[in-house]
Structure 1
Amino acid sequence: MIDEVFRAEHGRAVAVLVRVFGDVDVAEDAVQDAFAEAVRRWPSDGTPPSPAGWIITTARNKAIDRLRREAARDGKQAQAQAMMLNEGGPVETGAVPDDRLRLIFTCCHPALGPDARVALTLRLLGGLSTAEIARAFLVPEATMAQRLVRAKAKIRDARIPYRVPDEAELPGRLAGVLAVVYLVFNQGYGGREELGAEAIRLGRVLAELLPDEPEVLGLLALMLLVESRRPARLRGGEIVLLRDQDRGLWDHRLVAEGQALVRRCLEIDRPGPYQIQAAVNAVHSDAATAADTRWDQIVRLYDQLMAVAPTPVAALNRAVAVAEVEGPGAGLALVAELDLGRYYLFHAIRADLLRRLGRDAEAAEAYDAAIERTENDAERAFLRERRLGLRVCGGSDPPRDRRDGASRASVRTTARPPGRPGRS
């Protein structure tokens, strides 16, 4: 129960306390202390009627206690009193009316580097561990830990204010905000469903706030189209890839909403990375069956994506689509040019293309590399099953249908923010 409350309410609790006290370290430490108190008390006292309210109230009290102790020790009474006065003062509304969305905009201050903005917000809003954030960025955990420490130090030393941005500041913060929302969504699609729902909620708030900003609409469309396939993605706990999904299980209300947003983006005619990725997913959703998928259109869309936001992951996605049009050899040649050794889907896609070419020994090595690099149990089980089907493992010779493999791999690579891995 406490784990569920943490996943669902950590971000809101931190956001509320940042607004109340104006200090991210105070807010984050107090929320952590509140959850530690819940671990001690709830098993014996029982879960309170409003767990979220209990966490926020307890965290606020712990923050006040901490400020009083620091004031007594360091002679910072005036500062502590000023911060505590915020507890009962009026709540600032400003241009962004949502606490969690305001926290994202606040963390996306231009004084911080883009990666630091995203990582810090994932930490504060989503409660993600350093290891989880490192996997999202495809970097070692130690590297990410250093980034988070530096980001907090920059905020402290530069006295960056935690406040709601003015209307004029919103566009300048938008790119970082969109990246944060989509990375939160991808964490949700990777297993933490509450984060996916939160990302879509924030996307809707952004669309209301900036209804004529096409990248906002494109991001919301992308999330909705990917989310629409969730009901068909698992069967008995096992992954069902896009080619094999029962499309009747898709949430067609979300499909229709996402496609309508893509059409709105086309009317605005200012293409960007999220809009293009949404268009890719719209092509998938247009196909009544996997065989009807217009892979030629998808290749052209990835050509456009590479023109506006060239990244190794976008190139990997394009290679998957090229393999569907020109065959696995053409796709493998493109994959070989990429430096994505830390990314498990790079190895999984390479393994699948090698399998389709009959190069089973090399495919087995690539599957092993992919299995080693994923921590998702369902993904790992799927990859092991595919590896066991290779002749080098004593299994039967798998079918070599040229449309089989890349479309299977592509379902996890067509929906990611620029430079980040994807989901089906």
Structure 2
Amino acid sequence: MKDYLNTIVRIGRIVISPELRGLGLTRRIIKAAKNFSAERWHIGGMRPIFMEISAEMLSHIDFVTSSGFKFIGRTEGNITRVLKDMQSMARDPSGDFGMMSLQRKYFRALEDYCKTLQISFEEGLEALKRKIELNQDALTTGEWAVLRSVIRNPIPYFLCPLDDYTATYMRAALKSRPKAETATTNQFEFSARSTQINIDALSIRAAYRVPETRSTKIIMDAFGLKGDTVYADIVQNVSVKASNGNIIFVVGTSGSGKSVFLNALDPEKTLDGNLTVKRAGSLTHSAGWLRPLRDDIPIFEALAEKFTPEKAFVALSRVGLSEALAFIKPFWMLSRGQQYRAMIAELLLRDEEVWLLDEFCSDLDPITAKIVAHNLRKQVIATGRIAFIAAANHTHYLDALRPTKVLMLRSGDEPAWLSYKEYQNEFLDQVG
């Protein structure tokens, strides 16, 4: 068996910068590794014919199947033998028990734990036994922190063929054996129900009754103004049609009515009493807005408490926020780009069919805004949401968002509907 050990090349770890996750870079790195292994890698003249990867994260998020890997099974771990090994080493620390370097490492960790708590080694073994026989919830925080480094649970093992012959061999082998369990138990689809928005002649008018004060009388006399009420047509005669997977980008200068327009699309919103909304057609959808997460607990816990840990894992991974340190940070400790991703993950976990995003990416640098826009677009299409996104400053990420339609609001004039390409060509070129 040792003669063929080098026919399998292993991916030890894939690390993507947290700010660049969600762009498909993992697939590109794996593809490059496969090409290099197939064409150039060898040990003693032996070329690898398979690539393997195993990782605990694959129990929660499958990030390798799309790159051609097949789930083979789970590693053995050490659960069935570690307790026996620790007992044997306690009786005869100088004995030979096979994988000595690892076993001694576990033994020292357990010894240090017992010394710190001033308990006997037998009591430490009892805690280890509880973790194995019950679950980690049966342990104190201190026991869990130490014993997690002693126990290796079985983890998913994936294999990928590197040439046509081994691909044929693997297909036949997998077909002939009983269907294995799936590697990832978290199979969730965050799809929305079929939704159509059909609104005609949406108009929003503001009215303000001018108070009769000395100051206002001076202005009215000076400029010859008459009447006691000021009117402003904020949005004029907008007809909106949208369906699942559509991204409607709302643009316009400051004061053109972008925010008011979004508010008018939310059935649960009560508009300011000075605003009058007229439209033909009813709002039958539910609407969700980006909102900050709780900032007194880790973001993973905040989402897991509301939606289950399994769903939180998947949602955070979908938006490119699958970095361990980000999971255990509170919302306020995240970068602004990570905060956007966390808020989009929460939108995914909620049930609203329509997403309303105001001042989208207005406080992000150009590169991060582009990444966030790319991820948002991907999730809107994948889950069948309808997204209305408003922003004044957007030229740096518009090509990543690629909206279905652009609604251009113009103060004092009727709006214009444009395709993404029309808006890009006619208006952004003029700015450039």
Relative to the length of structure 2, the TM-score reads 0.21
The structure where strand makes up a greater share of residues is 2
Larger Cα Rg: Structure 1 or Structure 2? 2
Query: Relative contact order (alpha carbons < 8 A, sep ≥ 6): 1 or 2 greater?
Result: 2
TM-score (norm 1): 0.21
> Which structure shows the higher helix fraction?
1
